Structure 1
Amino acid sequence: MDKPVVRDAALLFFRVIVGLIFIVHGWHKLMISGITKTTGQFSAWGVPQPKLSAWVSGLAETVGGAMLVIGILATFAATGLALLMAAAIYFVHLGAAGFTQLGVEGGNSIEFPLLLLISLAMIVVFGPGRASVDGVLSRA
């Protein structure tokens, strides 16, 4: 398993899945729920500057997720998204519904954003891999 091709394939798969998760969540905030509904949710949760926060999180998740999928400036995108996840954990998920959502109606548990935060940290630490735009440009 300690072969570069296996490592790069695993990093590619991991990075693409994490990126797609962020694209879906950002797109949902921007286009499905819409900024008005997202702002209302953020306001109810006590997020500071809820309208600005809704726009920033929706755009950052959509654009940052796409950057992860493509693998361009991936460590930069992962760092920004990690800061966003840390803010989400602090303002929304910390102590809201416990660790897991099992049996909690509409709970804002901490396990999913924590998993995303750790996943982003793995991308920052190990990089995007050679199967990325960053990897191709670094070899050129």
Structure 2
Amino acid sequence: MDKPVVRDAALLIFRAVLGVIFVAHGWEKLFIAGITKTTGQFSAWGVPQPKLSAWITAIAELLGGGLLVVGLLTTFVAGAMALLIAAAMYFVHLDAGFFISEGGIEYPLLLVVSLLMIVVFGSGRASVDGVLTRG
């Protein structure tokens, strides 16, 4: 299984699925729930500067997720998004326990670890980054 083509395919699938999850969450914050409702939720959770935080989070999830899908600026985007999710863990999920059913850190912890895997292993050759570094 330690063949470059298998490793690159696994990174592509992993990166694409993670990116789609972030795009869906950003889309939901901006266009389904709306930024006003998202700001209200952030305010209720005690997130500092809830309106600014809601905009930053929604745009970062939408654009960052898209960049993960195509594999552009991948390690930078994954690192920045890991910090964003770590902040969400601190402000929203930490006091709620472990399990996601209780609003705990289970899901955001999985996201942070997944993003760190991309930071460590990169985007693979099946990405825009991979194409640009081969040239």
Q: TM-score range by the shorter chain?
A: over 0.9
Deviation track 1:51-86 (CA, whole Å, cap 9, x = no partner) reads 000000000000000000000001111011101000
- In the superposition, the TM-score normalised over structure 2's length comes to 0.98
Structure 1 counterpart of 2:27: 27
- Amino acid in the other structure paired with 1:86: A
- Amino acid in the other structure paired with 1:133: V
Contact 2:100 2:107 in 1 (8 A): no
Deviation track 1:4-61 (CA, whole Å, cap 9, x = no partner) reads 0000000000000000000000110011000100000000000000000000000000
Structure 2 counterpart of 1:116: 111
Instruction: Give, in whole Å, the separation in 1 of the partners of 2:46 and 2:112.
Output: 21
User: Matched residue of 1:95: which SS?
Assistant: helix
User: Matched residue of 1:72: which SS?
Assistant: coil
What RMSD in Å do the two structures reach over aligned CA positions? 0.7
Instruction: Give, in whole Å, the separation in 2 of the partners of 1:118 and 1:59.
Output: 21
Structure 1 counterpart of 2:12: 12
Structure 1 residue 133 corresponds to structure 2 residue 132: no
Identity of aligned residues (%): 70
User: Matched residue of 2:123: which SS?
Assistant: coil
User: Matched residue of 1:94: which SS?
Assistant: helix
Instruction: Give, in whole Å, the separation in 1 of the partners of 2:26 and 2:65.
Output: 8
Instruction: Give, in whole Å, the separation in 2 of the partners of 1:64 and 1:115.
Output: 17
Q: Which runs of 5+ in 1 are unaligned?
A: none
Normalized per residue, the structure richer in helix is 2
Q: Which runs of 5+ in 2 are unaligned?
A: none
1:95, distance to aligned residue in structure 2 (A): 1.8
Structure 2 counterpart of 1:67: 67
Moved over 2 A (4+): none
- In the superposition, the TM-score normalised over structure 1's length comes to 0.95
Structure 1 residue 101 corresponds to structure 2 residue 96: no
